[in-house]
Copies of this chain bind each other. A is one copy, B any other.
Amino acid sequence: MRDPDKPQQIIDAAVRVFARNGFYNSRVSDIAREAGIASGTIYLYFKTKDEILVTLFREKMAGFVGVLRKEIAGEPDPPAKLRRLVRLHFETLEAHPDMAEVVQVELRQGQKFFRGASAHEISAYFDLIGSVLQEGVEAGVFRRDLPVKVATKMLFGAMDQVTTSWVLGKRGYRLADAAEPVANIFLKGVTRDGI
């Protein structure tokens, strides 16, 4: 089992295929055709069709969160960090529309993702958002009594839904344009009065 590019090629093909048809309506042979290989070859690199999906999600999500974490570290304060995070969220998904399609629309198969194998990658994202909020609370820029967990879910859900609508709307406008309004509303919602 040598070719170190094959798994990535397969993942990439799977992203496109799943984006097009959804997981359950995609055949392993579709992925193979998209990747330009024989269907049996896929099984040299992945044990099952499910494993493709899980691997794909984990990898993309981990990369996504990793980039976000690094980028926002350079920002001076929690509000700036949140603005950057929101912007990057939208920019990244806009730059990878197939991925966005998969993440937004297809990977919501209960059990399989938020529960189960990929829960860790998702909670890493929640942790990242939560830590920025917590930092802001402690720095006194966000409401002292801010329910951090709820706020975290709200921001994630808000970005998620804006992205979903963009994907479903066939991406007829610039997703990144939503970054500023979203950040504004959310920040205003959590910022301490008198600031």
Contact = CB atoms under 8 A, between A and B. Distances in A.
A178 B154 CA distance: 11
Interface string A104-136: 111011111011000000000000000000000
Contacts of A115: 168
Interface residues of A, number: 42
B114 A168 contact: yes
Interface stretch (A29-37, A73-81, A181-189): A181-189
Contact of A105 (B22, B104, B111): B111
A153 interface: yes
A38 to B, nearest CB: 13
A91 interface: no
Contacts of A157: 157-162, 164
24 contacts: A22-B110, A22-B111, A101-B110, A106-B109, A110-B168, A114-B168, A147-B181, A150-B178, A150-B181, A150-B185, A151-B181, A151-B185, A154-B158, A154-B185, A155-B158, A157-B157, A157-B158, A157-B161, A157-B164, A158-B161, A160-B160, A185-B190, A188-B189, A188-B190
Contacts of A160: 157, 160-161
